[in-house]
A = this chain, B = another copy of it.
Amino acid sequence: MAVYTEIPDEEFDAFMKSYDVGVVLSCKGIAEGVENSNFLVVTEAGQFILTLYEKRVAAADLPFFLGLMEHLAAKGINCPTPVHDREGKALKQLAGRPAAMVTFLSGMWVRRPQAEHCAAVGAALARLHLAGADFAITRKNALTVDGWRPLYEQCGGRADTVAPGLAAIIEDELGEAERSWPAALPRGVIHADLFPDNVFFLGGRLSGLIDFYFACTDMFAYDVAVCLNAWCFEVDGSLNVTKARALLTGYGSVRPLGDAEIDALPMLARGSALRFLLTRLYDWLTVPAGALVVPKDPLEYYRKLRFHRSVGDASAYGLSR
């Protein structure tokens, strides 16, 4: 939750006048999103989200992200759509940063997802995978198996200061993932970060997906594994099999998982848990003094990882062939 960049008055005025959205009535920084600065802008034409991309987002990736949102929206996925200025540009500059304005989505994210939310998000994820099939641009997943060891090495051997024994588990998992990571599964555009705060519901129905800034080209089943970790565990660290079954069944109702994907699910879930454990561990160990964002607890994903290490096959997630 943060706004990192203050926009000078005159620059903001000139920026907004470059769009055909009428007079600006309000602009408020939003206390959501940890990577970028987000503002809710109200104009005569409606509501918009203005994003200033801070340094953790590579400017070279922005055409992929903005193009993807536009592609998905055209295919009927409810997601923010980039607004083009009078010259047709969606990607612009503001306050010295890359900036874009997107349409506002109604809905709220669910703090405590229930099984019906998991079913809905599973189905929406499958629709996203199908809708992205003919998107022309590709983007490598910067946070897949070959990126994990370099990330871990940046933690400087300090994992055990967070939890005794953590370093040994991580090293074991890195080795296992490097040996056994699946390669030949169906691929395409994945969201890669579809946590509850990126999924909006309205009146009990899923109303939209947001935050495509980790989207990339990778295995669909890995995206499913990310959602299993993000949606189906209880606060005490145990898997809720009812929610997992709902998520997987929801997904399968739109895009049935193949046998190879089902077989790979435990390994993908371990890898996905390791990925979030490592990024959170890195953030935890490197949070600067005076940071505006409280780092997320890496141990939440340590607990999930331990669960997945105990799993024999995908039936542990409520899935039956």
Contact = CB atoms under 8 A, between A and B. Distances in A.
B290 A106 contact: no
A294 B2 CA distance: 11
State the majority secondary structure of interface residues on A: loop
Nearest to A291: B290
Interface in A65-123: 104-108, 110-112
B1 A3 contact: yes
Contact of A30 (B31, B108, B290): B31
B108 A24 contact: yes
A47 interface: yes
A238 interface: no
Given A107-B25, A292-B292, A31 B9 contact: no
Contacts of A6: 111
Contact of A106 (B30, B42, B294): B42
A168 interface: no
Interface in A40-56: 40, 42, 47
A156 interface: no
Of the candidates A29, A105, A110, the one having the most CB atoms from chain B within 10 angstroms of its own CB is A29
Interface string A1-42: 111001111001000000000011111111110000000101
A203 interface: yes
Interface residues of A, number: 34
Given A42-B47, A111-B6, A31 B1 contact: yes
Nearest to A289: B289
A25 B111 contact: no
A202 interface: yes
B26 A108 contact: yes
Given A1-B3, A6-B111, A24-B108, 5 more contacts: A8-B112, A28-B32, A42-B47, A42-B106, A292-B292
29 contacts: A1-B2, A1-B3, A1-B29, A1-B31, A2-B31, A8-B112, A9-B110, A9-B111, A12-B108, A23-B202, A24-B108, A25-B106, A25-B107, A26-B104, A26-B105, A26-B106, A26-B108, A28-B31, A28-B32, A29-B31, A29-B32, A30-B30, A30-B31, A31-B31, A40-B40, A42-B106, A290-B294, A292-B292, A292-B294
Interface of A: 1-3, 6-9, 12, 23-32, 40, 42, 47, 104-108, 110-112, 202-203, 290, 292, 294
